[in-house]
């Protein structure tokens, strides 16, 4: 009995133990299953993302920045590859025992600093952070890159090669024309973002689309890329082709700087426009700077003054007041007005004239820049209507150019009636502010028949693969005044540059010029009155007067030696216009281009004789005296003396010769001389001399 009870008790204990063990196993199994469920089902996404982050690496691919070209394809801003060096500190210290890490890092920092000209403690700190990526030095020289590559191989002293150093190409912005168009173009900071000018306003287009490349790390931590580049557009940003002409831009900057320095001015601006299309051919600012060395430039020299500086235009506004008077029919083109002998009071304020006069026609009043006459025209038009005409010419609103920092200027408010003195002073350009680009576009509207054009600065945008993204086309914003009014004003403006006009120094030999001078006193913020010492000198105009190809606004701020617009700004207009017209190959008025067939001489004697007989000039004897026919494949060298560069080259090419250009200006000499016989394909040397 006792034995049976013991066996029964022992069996019961065994079963209890087995139950406990099974229960514990079941609980453990449940916990494991539950944990697995939590890991795989509920929290699986988070763990998968963590695993991907641990084994994958995303590399941001920065595209090559797009280039900027002028209208003829000359590069103004390009990106070049310059080596930069980074360090993978984890790779550099891989396999180094922890106790030796400080010593290895210090020795590696000394070697790297010696090669790159850096401070060893700073390099050591970057290594001891043990990060996968850290810049050591950006945009290093080729010599430094060679020294760095030597560190990756066994040195003559037997030192171990350094791992984890990476020399890679990084884009650096370069401006081949140096300071040309500096404030217009802007610059690019070391981080690759555009600053100022077009580099800032069109940063997204120039910078391109950034793409992330995904790769896997192997056991040694090396990156293996899984996918290639999906979109070729990520390799480079868009290229910009501007309407700016490098030759005219260079001429405008040189003449502006020359005038500003001669008259000791504070600053200045020139804007040159193609009046029929609204294309900006040049936008010069002074002082300027070289974007390649922007770190050494002052803030004021980076200011694009043509759009950012607003000023009271003075007498330059009189042409638009006159247009308002003719449009509203309050005055007639041949009307005479009494100019009060040089002094008139309006609302107790005295309005003087620099050239006192009695009765003047509107053309004479414009030529002598009579404040009184144009004030009377403005008061006849009325403040509200004068405001509306100024607004139609684009004053008081931004032009919409793709540039940062443009100001709209200020017109007197339209909501309340203008008092007489406000209307009178606004009529001759005081009490309102404008920008130089507004003046240029409004002057172009007078030149092209009253059409205010949309200014165009970016002519074409192309992708990095050469595909056309967009192309600008001329667009009329609105009709500022009727074409007949614009033509009348343009004719009256010719008197400004002729005879006793205030703008005779803007006259261009061989061309008629329509223009208007401006000499505006600047308001003194300390006294609230107009300064007796500080002026803004300006000149606006277009050339040729009747078939204009150039419209221009020149503004010189605070000239010291002389302050009259006719003496300070008008000569700048003349010199730029002379150079630009010659550069563009525009023939002076009254001089017709020579016919190529006449230049060839007797290449076709029968046609030559026929032409002479038709004019009734020659006799049969004269025809016989014409040179004999040339051998096949030869031509007679024509006399191209006085031709501009483009026209002379074009004539030479049409004859089958190979022109070689020496100098600039107008053709003064040619080798061989006129009348010589050359074979087609032979060289014709054209020696050009300055127009003066």
Exposed / middle / buried, residue 215 (Cβ in 10 Å: 0-12, 13-18, 19+): middle
Shared-domain flag, residues 573 and 426: yes
Residue 52 in domain: no
* Catalytic positions: 315
The model's pTM is: 0.72
Shared-domain flag, residues 386 and 492: yes
Token couple for 594: 């020579």
Query: Is residue 603 over pLDDT 90?
Result: no
Residue 246 in domain: no
Token couple for 46: 């988070």
Shared-domain flag, residues 194 and 160: yes
Backbone φ, ψ for residue 197 (5° rounding): 55, -155
Query: What is the full DSSP assignment across 446-512?
Result: HHTTSEEEPPB-EEEEE-TTS-EEEE----EEEE-S-HHHHHHHHHHHHGGGSTT-TTGGG--TTS-
Helix and strand element counts for the chain (H, E):
24, 28
Residue 628 in domain: yes
Q: What is the mean pLDDT of the chain?
A: 82
The 3-state secondary structure of 591-650, one letter per residue = CCCCCHHHHCCCCCHHHHHHHHHHCCCCCHHHHHCCCCCCCCCEEECCCCCCCEHHHHHH
Give the structural domain span for 38: 2-42
Among candidate residues 367, 331, 394, the one with its CA nearest the CA of residue 514: 367
pLDDT (0 to 100) of residue 495: 93
Query: Is residue 187 over pLDDT 80?
Result: yes
Taking residues 47-73, report their average pLDDT: 72
Q: What is the pLDDT of residues 331-382, one digit of tens each?
A: 998 889 998 998 999 988 899 988 888 999 999 999 999 999 999 999 999 9
pLDDT (0 to 100) of residue 604: 39
Backbone φ, ψ for residue 488 (5° rounding): -65, -45
Shared-domain flag, residues 267 and 132: no
Shared-domain flag, residues 229 and 357: no
> How many domains is the chain partitioned into structurally?
4
Give the contacts of 367 (CB within 8 A, at least 6 positions apart): 495, 496, 498, 499, 500, 501, 502
Shared-domain flag, residues 178 and 318: no
Residue 447 in domain: yes
Query: Is residue 385 over pLDDT 70?
Result: yes
Residue 654 in domain: yes
**Most distant CA atoms of the chain, gap in Å:** 168
pLDDT (0 to 100) of residue 164: 81
Taking residues 474-500, report their average pLDDT: 94
Backbone φ, ψ for residue 284 (5° rounding): -105, 145
Q: What is the pLDDT of residues 502-556, one digit of tens each?
A: 999 999 988 999 999 999 999 888 887 888 889 999 999 999 998 999 999 999 9
Shared-domain flag, residues 572 and 610: no
Shared-domain flag, residues 27 and 76: no
Residue 244 in domain: no
Report the Cα 193 to chain-centroid distance in Å.
Answer: 16
Rounded distance between C-alpha atoms, residue 99 and residue 115, angstroms: 26
pLDDT (0 to 100) of residue 599: 30
Residue 481 in domain: yes
Taking residues 476-492, report their average pLDDT: 95
Shared-domain flag, residues 457 and 478: yes
Of residues 321 and 112, the one with the higher pLDDT is 321
Shared-domain flag, residues 579 and 602: no
Shared-domain flag, residues 525 and 650: no
CATH number at residue 678: 3.30.10.20
Three-class DSSP category at 514? strand
Token couple for 363: 């053309």
Shared-domain flag, residues 32 and 145: no
Residue 102 in domain: yes
Query: Is residue 273 over pLDDT 50?
Result: yes
The residue assigned the tokens 């004999």 is 628
CATH number at residue 377: 3.40.710.10
Rounded distance between C-alpha atoms, residue 276 and residue 148, angstroms: 58
Gyration radius of the chain over CA positions? 39
Of residues 599 and 76, the one with the higher pLDDT is 76
């Amino acid at each position: 009995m006792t034995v049976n009870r013991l066996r029964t008790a022992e069996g019961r204990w065994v079963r209890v133990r087995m139950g406990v063990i099974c229960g514990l196993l079941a609980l453990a199994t449940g916990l494991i299953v539950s944990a697995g469920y939590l890991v795989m089902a509920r929290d699986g996404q988070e763990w998968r993302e963590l695993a991907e982050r641990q084994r994958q690496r995303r590399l941001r691919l920065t595209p090559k920045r797009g280039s900027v070209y002028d209208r003829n394809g000359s590069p103004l801003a390009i990106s070049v590859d310059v080596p930069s060096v980074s360090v993978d500190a984890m790779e550099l210290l891989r396999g180094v025992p922890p106790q030796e890490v400080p010593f290895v890092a210090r020795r590696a920092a000394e070697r790297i600093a010696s090669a790159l000209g850096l401070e060893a403690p700073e390099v050591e700190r970057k290594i001891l952070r043990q990060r996968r990526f850290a810049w050591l030095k950006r945009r290093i020289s080729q010599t430094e890159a060679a020294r760095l590559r030597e560190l990756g191989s066994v040195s003559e002293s037997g030192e171990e090669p350094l791992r984890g150093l990476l020399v890679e190409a990084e884009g650096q912005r370069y401006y081949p024309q140096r300071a040309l168009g500096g404030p217009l173009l802007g610059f690019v900071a070391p981080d690759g973002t555009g600053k100022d000018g077009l580099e800032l306003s069109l940063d997204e287009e120039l910078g391109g689309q950034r793409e992330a490349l995904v790769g896997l790390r192997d056991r040694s931590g090396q990156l293996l890329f899984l996918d290639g580049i999906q979109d070729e557009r990520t390799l480079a940003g868009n290229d910009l082709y501007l309407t700016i002409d490098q030759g005219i831009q260079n001429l405008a900057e040189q003449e502006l700087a020359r005038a500003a320095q001669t008259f000791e001015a504070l600053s200045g601006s020139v804007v040159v426009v193609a009046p029929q299309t609204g294309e900006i051919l040049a936008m010069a600012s002074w002082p300027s700077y070289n974007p390649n060395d922007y770190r050494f430039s002052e803030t004021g020299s980076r200011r694009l003054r043509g759009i950012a500086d607003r000023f009271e235009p003075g007498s330059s506004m009189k042409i638009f007041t006159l247009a308002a008077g003719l449009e509203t029919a309050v005055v007639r083109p041949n009307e005479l007005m009494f100019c009060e002998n040089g002094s008139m009071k309006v609302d107790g304020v005295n309005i003087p004239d620099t050239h006192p006069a009695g009765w003047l026609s509107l053309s004479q009043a414009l030529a002598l820049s009579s404040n009184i006459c144009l004030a009377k025209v403005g008061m006849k038009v009325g403040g509200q209507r004068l405001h509306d005409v100024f607004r139609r010419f684009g004053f008081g609103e931004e032009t919409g150019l793709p540039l940062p920092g443009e100001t709209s200027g200020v017109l007197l408010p339209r909501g309340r009636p203008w008092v007489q003195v406000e209307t009178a002073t606004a009529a001759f350009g005081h009490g309102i502010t404008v920008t130089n680009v507004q003046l240029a576009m409004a002057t172009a509207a007078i030149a092209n028949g009253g059409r205010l054009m949309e200014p165009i600065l970016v002519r074409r945008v192309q992708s990095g693969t050469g595909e056309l993204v967009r192309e600008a086309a001329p667009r009329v914003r609105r009709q500022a005044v009727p074409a007949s009014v614009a033509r009348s004003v343009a004719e009256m403006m010719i008197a400004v540059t002729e005879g006793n006009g205030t703008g005779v120094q803007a006259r261009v030999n061989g061309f008629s010029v329509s223009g208007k001078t401006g000499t505006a006193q600047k308001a003194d913020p300390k006294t609230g009155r107009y300064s007796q010492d500080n002026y803004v000198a300006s000149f606006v105009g277009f050339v040729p007067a009747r078939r204009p190809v150039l419209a221009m606004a020149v503004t010189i701020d605070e000239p010291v030696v002389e302050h009259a617009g006719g003496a300070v700004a008008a000569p700048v207009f003349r010199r730029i216009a002379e150079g630009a017209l010659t550069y563009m190959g525009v023939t002076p008025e009254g001089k017709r281009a020579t016919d190529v067939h006449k230049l060839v001489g007797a290449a076709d004697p029968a046609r030559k004789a026929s032409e002479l007989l038709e004019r009734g000039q020659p006799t049969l004897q004269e025809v016989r005296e014409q040179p004999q026919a040339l051998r096949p494949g030869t031509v007679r060298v024509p006399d191209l003396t006085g031709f501009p560069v483009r026209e002379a080259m074009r004539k030479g090419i049409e004859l089958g010769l190979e022109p070689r250009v020496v100098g600039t200006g107008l053709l003064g000499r040619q080798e061989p001389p006129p009348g010589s016989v050359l074979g087609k394909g032979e060289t014709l040397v054209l020696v050009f001399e300055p127009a003066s």
